[in-house]
Amino acid sequence: MASLLRDRKLRPKTIIIRDYQANDSFVTHASDNSHGTEPEVVYTRRLIASSAPWGTDPDTVAAMAREVLRDANLSVTSLSIGPPAESWPIGEQRELYMAFGMAPWTLSVGSPRVVEVRVGLEMTGGDGCDCDCDWQQGCGTGFAELREAELVVKEGDAGEWWLGKVFYEARALKSLKLGDSSLGAMPLVASRVVPKLRKLELFRLSSISMGQISAMLANSGESLSRLSLVSVELDEDSSWEGLLSLIAQDCKALISVRLAALTGHGKDDSETRLDFHKVVGRIPPEFESGVDFRARAPEQRVMGLSYKGPDAAGFLGFLSGFVDLLTWEEIEERRARVVAQAGGDGGAA
């Protein structure tokens, strides 16, 4: 495939590589569960199970896509790595069944898991293309024209290669969505980061540092307008107060922020949940119209909120002073205390 692309024998608008694997975690029986120990069932479970060392994860298909594209020197305009955003031939929710001879029951083998790399390509000459070709292949533009990217990658050579392309070569990148990853060991050099992002979404990230997020935004201080942080865990050497304050100082063009299900580490390295309950009733008048949050009764927990307005950076700066990190034990203690107080006062929880 790499050779065909390099020799211009194929000129695709889009390259899609998918990794399929049956999900054996949903192996059930459509009728009688007593058949769970039948030899056919045991064999089928082993057949379906992930016996390959690579399993079905983003790194496998990302590594294959890297080998296909490494020397093709295409002009990439869009990139996504992760679960497909649209329907695929075998839908995620479609059950697959297997019958055993004349047996009066069938075995459900679950639904397939799919990971996809989708690469959109520029089809006409443009900036960086000095020849007269009508297709930017082999013209040295690479990822310079990449405008939007959505990545689900893991630690490893393939993940670092794709992140390097995005952060160090994608000068035209405006929108980045990055998630479902553990980026703790991935290096990111702020001085080499080139995108001037307008939109950044981070989701389901574990053990990421304040320095890594700051490096992602190294060149986006005057351009970033939308920021979303959902299910993000900072490492033990980082603080949410420090990160929110830093973003507020560096990204003055923000007009929209979303924060939800954020976690960190306590003094004894215990996992903590970020709670904004301290802002209830204290939001300055200039921010009130743009804030949206729900306080969970009865203890008034605020695990997430969003803000839209011309001074979202100022709101983040305000918010950084009201960060409260609670362990699950503290959350339960607070709930019990609030419920007990409400009962003692004759009020309803």
The pLDDT of residue 238 is 92
The pLDDT of residue 159 is 86
Q: What is the domain partition of the chain in residue ranges?
A: 174-349
The pLDDT of residue 50 is 47
- CA angle centred on 113, ends 107 and 117, rounded to 5°: 155
Q: CA distances (Å), 333 to each of 20, 301, 302, 322, in order?
A: 45, 13, 16, 20
Which residue ranges in the chain fall short of pLDDT 50? Answer: 24-37, 50-55, 87-93, 126, 128, 135-136, 138, 346-349
d(CA 127, CA 322): 47
The pTM (predicted TM-score) of the whole model is 0.80
114 φ, ψ (degrees, to nearest 5): -130, 130
Q: What is the SS3 string spanning 204-226? A: EEEEECHHHHHHHCCCCCCCCCE
Q: Can you name the residues that pair with 229 across neighbouring β-strands?
A: 202, 259
d(CA 222, CA 67): 35
The pLDDT of residue 106 is 55
The pLDDT of residue 27 is 42
| Consecutive H or E run containing 79 | strand 76-82
The pLDDT of residue 105 is 53
The pLDDT of residue 51 is 43
The pLDDT of residue 152 is 87
